[in-house]
Amino acid sequence: GAGVSQSPSNKVTEKGKDVELRCDPISGHTALYWYRQSLGQGLEFLIYFQGNSAPDKSGLPSDRFSAERTGGSVSTLTIQRTQQEDSAVYLCASSGGGPPTDTQYFGPGTRLTVL
Amino acid sequence: AQSVTQLGSHVSVSEGALVLLRCNYSSSVPPYLFWYVQYPNQGLQLLLKYTSAATLVKGINGFEAEFKKSETSFHLTKPSAHMSDAAEYFCAVTHEGGTGNQFYFGTGTSLTVIP
């Protein structure tokens, strides 16, 4: 594909429901990142995958958040029992190598609204 | 610990005028610094990066930034603003050997270009 894609672009859900957000990285990219962008805030790191290594989950805000990456490609971020404070734009990025200097290519994001 | 501060959440300039977006960093180790641009409904795109080589870094679309260690700054400039430069700009910091969870983004500066 031409770039990183994310789906859905917008998601409105009710408090307490589970949501799944999908990220398709650039083909061949080994590194994949998830960030959260809240109104008026910078990007907040959530989780990082690098190749077949165990993911770095140190940024996940609670155990309601989880992510997986299947076959070293597509990633899904799952938020269980959503809360209103989870409302944000969730951004995915991929890079061809590892940090810190490899350029991250970002998707357009998923805007999550929890009512 | 590392962080960046972007002074001015909103900046307005006239078309053809100088663009100056400010970024100050805090870092206990030599930093790597980045500027990203986010156009409406699009993902972040790398403008330029500093990784300990030349202190004056030139990026895409006529932007450049200068690393000033004495001022702990990495301000983004462009001599003449175009309407197409209207976007959100983010500064980010990491360091040599930094891992995937060690990119720290500023809160962003929204640039408006007045015709």
Would you call A100 and B103 a contact, using CB atoms and an 8 Å cutoff? yes
CA atoms B99, B74, A107, A79: torsion sign: positive
Query: What are the structure tokens assigned to B21, written together?
Result: 């977006």
Would you call B42 and A100 a contact, using CB atoms and an 8 Å cutoff? no
C-alpha span between A92 and A105 (Å, rounded):
8
Query: What are the structure tokens assigned to B7, written together?
Result: 């002074």
User: Which pLDDT belongs to residue B83?
Assistant: 96
Residue in B36, B42, B92 nearest the CB of A108: B42
C-alpha span between B25 and B8 (Å, rounded):
15
What's phi and psi for A71, nearest 5 deg? 60, 25
Strands B109-114 and B10-14: parallel
Nearest chain B residue to A36 by CA distance is B105
Q: What is the mean pLDDT of residues A43-49?
A: 91
Within 8 A of A104 by CB-CB distance, chain B residues are 44, 46, 103
User: Which pLDDT belongs to residue B72?
Assistant: 95
Name the CA dihedral angle for A29, B66, B107, A98, rounded to a multiple of 10 degrees: 20
Would you call A43 and B102 a contact, using CB atoms and an 8 Å cutoff? no
A40 — pLDDT class (breaks 50, 70, 90):
confident
A19 — pLDDT class (breaks 50, 70, 90):
very high
Would you call A42 and B101 a contact, using CB atoms and an 8 Å cutoff? no
CA atoms B103, B89, A104, A5: torsion sign: positive
- Please indicate whether residue A40 or residue B106 has the higher confidence score (pLDDT): B106
Would you call B103 and A99 a contact, using CB atoms and an 8 Å cutoff? yes
State pLDDT tens for residues B29-51.
Answer: 889 999 999 998 888 999 999 98
Residue B80 DSSP symbol: S
Residue in A58, A100, A109 nearest the CB of B95: A100
Would you call B44 and A98 a contact, using CB atoms and an 8 Å cutoff? no
pLDDT beyond 90 at A85 = yes
Angle, vertex CA A58, rays to CA A52 and CA A59, nearest 5: 115
Q: Is B107 in CB contact (< 8 Å) with chain A?
A: yes
Are A72 and A30 spatial neighbours (Cβ–Cβ below 8 Å)?
Answer: yes
Q: What is the mean pLDDT of residues A38-50?
A: 87
Residue B41 DSSP symbol: T
C-alpha span between A13 and B7 (Å, rounded):
35
User: Which pLDDT belongs to residue A91?
Assistant: 96
State pLDDT tens for residues B2-30.
Answer: 899 999 999 999 999 999 999 999 998 88
Displacement of CA A105 from its chain's centroid (Å) = 13
Reduced to 3 states (helix: H, G, I; strand: E, B; else coil), residue A104 is coil
Are A67 and A92 spatial neighbours (Cβ–Cβ below 8 Å)?
Answer: no
User: Count of A–B CB contacts within 8 Å?
Assistant: 73
State pLDDT tens for residues B69-106.
Answer: 999 999 999 999 999 999 999 999 988 877 777 889 99
